[in-house]
Amino acid sequence: MSLIASLRTPRGLITALLLLVLAVLPLLTQAFDQRYLLSIGTRIVIWAIAAISLNMILGYGGMVSFGHAVFFGIGGYAVGILSHHGVASGFVQWPVAIVAATLWAALVGALSLRTRGLYFIMITLAFAQLVFYVGGGLEAYGADDGLNISRSRFPGLIDMRDKASFYWLCFALLCGTLWFCSRFANARFGLVIRGAKSNELRMMALGFPVFRYRLAAFTLSGAFGGLAGILLANEGAYISPAMMSWVKSGDLIVIVVLGGMGTLFGPLYGTIAFFVLEESLKPLLDLLRKGWGEYWQIVFGPMLVLIALYARGGIDSLFGRRHG
C-alpha cells in the first residue's frame, strides 16, 4: 500500500499524527513549559526501541523472552564502565556496547533456543538474573547502588546534555528501528521467523534451518535492546542493576502485548499507553483521595489481568483489521 493511501485508513492517520507529535515534542514541551513531559517523552521513545526489539522475537517469532531488560543493563553498563574509566567518546562506547549486547544475545540464544515453552521463558529469565546479580556484585561500579556516569561525548556532532537534542537523537534512532523492523518483518528472513511461529514443523519440512533463523533474530533483537540500554544510561546519566531487574522485563512484555504483538507500531502504542497509564493513574487516584496515587499498581495489576484475558490483539487491533 502506498504511503498516501495508508494515510486514509484510521490506523495510518493515527500513526502519522502520533509520529508527528513525537517529532515536535521538544517544541511542544517548550511552548507549554512542561520540561517534565520531555523527560517522560524521552523515556517513552527509548522504551519503545526496546519494545520493538522484543516484538521482533516475541511478536513475530513467538519466542517469549522474559529477560529482555538485560540488554538495558548490558548496553548501559558498557557505556557506564567505559565512561567510568575515562573513555568518554561515544564513538568508542556505543559500538562496544552494541557488540557486547549482540554477543550476549548470541550466547543466550544459542543455549536457550534449544528449549521450548515454559523452559524458554524461564531460561531467558535466568540468564537475565545472572547478569543482574553480576551487576549487583560489581563493587567497583557501585554494586546494588549503581553509578553516576557522564554522558557519551560526540564532539562537534551533538551535545547529549541538551535535553532536546538528546530527545531528537533518540527519536531518530526510534525511526531507524521502526524502519529496520518493517524491513525485517516483510523480508524473507522475517517471513521465516513468522512462519516458524505458526508452524515450526512445516517450516523445517520446507527446508528452513529454523534454529539458525531464530538465533539470528534473537541476536538482532539483543543488539537493538543494547541500543536502548545505551540511551537509557545516557538519559539518566546513571546505571544500576535495577535497570535490568526482572520486573522491567515483565514491563516490556506487558508493553508489547498491550500494544499488539507482531505489529510494526504496536510496541510504540504500547509504550505510550503504559507510561500514560502510569503517569495518569497516580494523579487520578490522588484525586479520589490524597495519598492513594502511591498505590496506583493496585489498579494497574488487575488491568493487566484483564488485558491478558480480554485484549488479545492489543491497542493495534482497535484501529481495525490490518492490510498486509
Partner 1 sequence: MDYLLLQVLNGVQLGLLMFLLAAGLTLTFGIMDLVNLAHGSLYMMGAYIAWMLIGWTDSFVLGALLALPATFLLGVVVEAIVMRRLYVRDHLEQVLATFGLILFFNELVRVIWGPAGKSIAVPAFLNRTVEILPGVPYPAYRFAIIVVGALVAILLAWLVARTRIGMLIRAGASNRRMIGALGVNIELLFTLVFGLGAVFAGLAGLMAAPITSVKIGMGDDILILAFVIIVIGGIGSIKGAFVAAMVVGQIDIVGRAFLPDFLKTFLSASAASSAAPAISQVLIYIVMAGVLVWRPTGLFGQRT
Residues found near partner 1 in the complex (CB under 8 A):
58, 64, 66, 111-112, 114-119, 121-123, 125-127, 129-130, 133-134, 136-140, 143, 246-247, 250, 253-254, 257, 294-298, 300-305, 307-309, 312
CB of 197 to partner 1, least distance (A): 12
Q: Which is nearer to partner 1, 13 or 107 (CB)?
A: 107
d(CA 34, CA 108): 41
Q: Which is nearer to partner 1, 220 or 253 (CB)?
A: 253
CB of 119 to partner 1, least distance (A): 6
Q: Which is nearer to partner 1, 70 or 192 (CB)?
A: 70
d(CA 173, CA 94): 13
Q: What is the DSSP string of 173-230?
A: HHHHHHHHHHHHHHSHHHHHHHHHHH-HHHHHHTT--HHHHHHHHHHHHHHHHHHHHH
Q: Give buried/exposed letters for 172-194 (b at 16+ CB in 10 A, else e).
A: ebbeebbeebeebbeeeebbbbb
CB of 133 to partner 1, least distance (A): 4
d(CA 135, CA 318): 40
Q: Which is nearer to partner 1, 54 or 170 (CB)?
A: 54
Q: Which is nearer to partner 1, 127 or 168 (CB)?
A: 127
CB of 116 to partner 1, least distance (A): 7
CB of 271 to partner 1, least distance (A): 16
d(CA 189, CA 279): 38
d(CA 26, CA 23): 8
CB of 277 to partner 1, least distance (A): 12
d(CA 315, CA 269): 7
Collapsed DSSP state (helix, strand, coil) of residue 32: coil
The 8-class DSSP code of residue 62 comes to: -
d(CA 207, CA 196): 12
Query: How many residues are listed for the chain in this entry?
Result: 324
Beta bridge partners of 154: 158
d(CA 99, CA 18): 32
Q: Which is nearer to partner 1, 12 or 241 (CB)?
A: 241
CB of 107 to partner 1, least distance (A): 10
d(CA 53, CA 47): 10
Q: Which is nearer to partner 1, 231 or 256 (CB)?
A: 256
Q: Which is nearer to partner 1, 59 or 90 (CB)?
A: 59
d(CA 201, CA 208): 10
Beta bridge partners of 238: 148
Q: Which is nearer to partner 1, 116 or 323 (CB)?
A: 116
